[in-house]
Each structure stands twice: as structure tokens, then as C-alpha cells.
Amino acid sequence: MRFIIANLTVIFWSFIFGDVLGYINSALSEASVNYLGVGIVAAIVAVIAVNGINLLADKRI
């Protein structure tokens, strides 16, 4: 259960962080941004990174 909650927390915060980065990038480059797409990509990358680091680490979540 702790593993699922940890992954849901990572998905939540990476979605928000990805949207913030997308907003900043679109404001600086004067381009439009697809917030849903950016958030989903950020969440997928973060889950892969966190779980990959967790597999390589000595201690588990």
C-alpha cells in the first residue's frame, strides 16, 4: 500500500510541476501549451525515474 501511495504522490506533484514548467516555457517563448499533455508526460517521466532509482537503491520505499 505504501508503494501505491508513494507513486500517486509522485504523479500528483510531477503533474503540477510539469504544468508550471509548461506555463513558464510558454510565457517565455510566446507559444501555446497543452497543459494536459505536458502534465501526463511529466508524470510518466517522474514515475519511471522514481521507480528506476528505487530499483537501484539499497533501501525500498
Residue 58 has pLDDT above 80, yes or no: no
Domain spans, the chain:
2-56
pTM score, whole prediction? 0.84
Instruction: Give the residue carrying C-alpha cell 504522490.
Output: 9
Mean pLDDT, residues 6-30 taken together: 95
Integer Cα distance of 18 and 29 in angstroms = 16
pLDDT at 55: 87
Integer Cα distance of 48 and 3 in angstroms = 14
Residue 17 has pLDDT above 80, yes or no: yes
Question: What is the CA 3 to chain-centroid distance, rounded?
Answer: 16
pLDDT band at 13 (very low <50, low <70, confident <90, very high): very high
pLDDT at 54: 87
DSSP string covering 10-61: HHHHHHHHHHHHHHHHHHHHT----HHHHHHHHHHHHHHHHHHHHHHSSS--
